[in-house]
């Protein structure tokens, strides 16, 4: 259940939970001030030109540990999903900077197509002569099952290696 009072003042629901506090330095023209800005003002002091971000993105959680002060442009990027995020390539370990979560896949784990292809084709193929003799003996499907690939992968492997 949401609280109805903050420090003895009635909570009004606008875009954010607010209280009527006309003498507070952060109050708007109508005398109302968002509660998270009251708490951030007490934690950080002057908030001029800064946005207050809720780390857990719950506007009803105005505990000081949940509030972070940031510039407007950075806050806008954070909510738009364009805030750069750094990860490591799963294949080579190089750094990957994911610029926009909306434009690129969130689960991007490879730095390049080469690393992606190398990781996807991680099958340890036996030598060509052994694969050819297995195909002659039991066929493409059974050979593929034994190696852990499809019958078409076996055909492609032999075509590529014997060409």
73 and 90 belong to one structural domain: no
28 and 47 belong to one structural domain: yes
Whether the per-residue pLDDT at 162 is higher than 90: the answer is no
14 and 40 belong to one structural domain: yes
| pTM for this model (two decimals) | 0.49
**What pLDDT sits at residue 13?**
80
10 and 75 belong to one structural domain: yes
Q: pLDDT tens digits for 35-74? A: 999 999 998 888 888 889 888 888 899 899 989 888 888 8
Q: Check if the beta carbon of residue 26 is closer than 8 Å to that of residue 41.
A: yes
Q: pLDDT tens digits for 77-127? A: 777 766 666 677 877 888 776 655 454 444 567 777 888 877 776 678 889
16 and 75 belong to one structural domain: yes
Residue 70: exposure state from Cβ atoms within 10 A (0-12, 13-18, ≥19)? middle
Q: For residue 7, what are its two tokens?
A: 């420090």
Q: How many domains does the chain divide into?
A: 3
Q: Check if the beta carbon of residue 59 is closer than 8 Å to that of residue 52.
A: no
Q: What is the domain extent for residue 136?
A: 128-162
Whether the per-residue pLDDT at 151 is higher than 80: the answer is yes
Q: What percent of the chain stands above pLDDT 90?
A: 21
CB atoms within 10 A of CB 33: 22
Element (H, E) at 155: helix 151-162
């Amino acid at each position: 259940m949401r609280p109805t009072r903050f420090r003895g003042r009635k909570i009004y629901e606008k875009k954010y939970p607010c209280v009527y506090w006309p003498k507070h330095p952060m109050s708007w023209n109508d005398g109302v001030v968002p509660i998270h800005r009251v708490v951030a003002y007490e934690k950080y002091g002057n908030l001029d030109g800064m946005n207050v971000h809720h780390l857990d993105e719950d506007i009803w959680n105005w505990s000081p540990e949940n509030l972070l002060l940031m510039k407007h442009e950075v806050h806008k990027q954070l909510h738009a999903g364009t805030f750069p995020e750094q990860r490591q390539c799963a294949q080579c370990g190089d750094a990957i900077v994911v610029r926009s979560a909306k434009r690129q896949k969130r689960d991007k784990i490879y730095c390049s197509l080469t690393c992606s292809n190398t990781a996807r084709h991680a099958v340890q193929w036996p030598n060509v002569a052994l694969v050819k003799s297995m195909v002659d003996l039991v066929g493409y499907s059974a050979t593929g099952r034994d190696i852990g690939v499809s019958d078409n992968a076996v055909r492609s492997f032999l075509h590529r290696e014997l060409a």
